[in-house]
Structure 1
Amino acid sequence: MDTLHMVLNAVTVIFIAATMFAAGLGATVPALRGVFTDVPLLLLALITNMVVIPLLGWGLGALFHLPSASFIALVLVASSPGGPFGAKLAMVQKGDVVGGAAMQVLLASVGSLTFGPTVNGILTAADVGTNVSLDVGALVGTVAFLQLVPFAIGLLMRHYATDVARSWHAPATAVSNVTFLVVLAGMLLGNWRDVVALLGSLALLAGFLLAVAAFAAGTLLATGPPTRRTTMGGVAAVRNAGPALAAIGIAFGDQPAILGALAGVLLSGLAAALPIATVLSGRRSAP
Structure 2
Amino acid sequence: MDTLHLVLNAITVIFIAASMFAAGLRATVPALRGVFANIPLLLLALIANMVVIPLLGWGIGALFSLPSAAFIALVLIASSPGGPFGAKLATVQQGDLIAGAATQVLLASIGSLTFAPTVNAILTAADIGIKVSLDVGALVRTVALLQLVPFAIGLLMRRYAEPTAQSWQPTAAAVSNVTFLIVLAGMLLGSWQDVVDLFGSLALLAGFLLAVFAFAIGTLLATGPMTLRTTMGGVAAVRNAGPALAAIGLAFADQPTILGALAAILLSGLAAALPIATLLSRRRSAPKKPQEHTSQVAM
Higher-Rg member (1/2): 2
Conservation of the 8 A alpha-carbon contact between 1:208 and 1:271: yes
Structure 2 counterpart of 1:268 = 268
Task: Tell me how far apart the structure 2 counterparts of residues 92 and 177 of structure 1 sit (CA, whole Å).
Answer: 14
Gaps of 5+ in 2: 286-299
- On the 8 A contact 1:238/1:269 being kept in 2, the answer is yes
Q: Which residue of 2 aligns with 1:34?
A: 34
Indicate yes or no: 2:167 matched with 1:200: no
Q: Residues 35, 77 of structure 1: CA spacing in aligned structure 2 closer, same or farther, 3 A cutoff?
A: same
Whether 1:223 aligns to 2:223 is: yes
Q: Distance in 1 between matches of 2:51 and 2:170?
A: 37
Aligned length: 285
Structure 1 residue 229: deviation in Å?
2.4
User: What are the superposed Cα offsets for residues 210-266 of structure 1, whole Å, 9 maximum, x if unpaired?
Assistant: 111111111221223334323322222222334444555565565544443333222
**Would you say the 8 A contact 1:208–1:269 is kept in 2?**
yes
> Displacement, 1:52?
0.9
2:52 counterpart letter in structure 1: V
Distance 2:259 2:160 in 1: 44
Q: Flag the 1:173–1:74 CA change in 2: closer, same or farther, 3 A.
A: closer
Cα distance in 2 between the residues matched to 1:127 and 1:271: 30
8 Å contact kept, 1:54–1:75: yes
Query: Which residue identity lines up with residue 160 of structure 2 in the other structure?
Result: Y
Contact 2:222 2:232 in 1 (8 A): yes
Q: Is the contact made by 1:41 and 1:222 (CA closer than 8 Å) also made in structure 2?
A: yes
Q: Write the deviation string for residues 50-77 of structure 1: whole angstroms up to 9, x where unpaired.
A: 2111221122122222233332332232
Amino acid corresponding to residue 6 of structure 2 in structure 1 = M
Match of 2:104 in 1: 104
RMSD: 2.9
Question: Is 71-80 or 43-52 further displaced after alignment?
Answer: 71-80
User: Following the alignment from structure 1 to structure 2, what is the Cα–Cα distance between the partners of residues 152 and 250?
Assistant: 25
Give the alignment of 1:93-242 within 5 angstroms.
93-130=93-130, 132-242=132-242
Q: Distance in 2 between matches of 1:61 and 1:124?
A: 14
Q: Sequence identity, in percent?
A: 82
Query: 1:165-195: per-residue Cα shift (whole Å, max 9, x none)?
Result: 3333333333334334434443443333221
1:18 lines up with 2:18 in the alignment: yes
Summarize the Cα distance change of 1:183–1:127 in structure 2 as closer, same or farther, 3 Å threshold.
closer
CA contact (8 A) 2:100 2:232 kept: yes
Counterpart position of 1:74: 74
CA distance in 1, matches of 2:29, 2:204: 40
Indicate the larger mover: 274-283 or 65-74: 274-283
Mapped to 2, the partners of 1:182 and 1:37 lie a distance apart of: 38
For residues 13-62 of structure 1, the C-alpha deviation after alignment (integer angstroms, 9 at most, x for no partner) is 33333333333223222111101221111211111112111221122122
- Secondary structure of 1:194 counterpart: helix
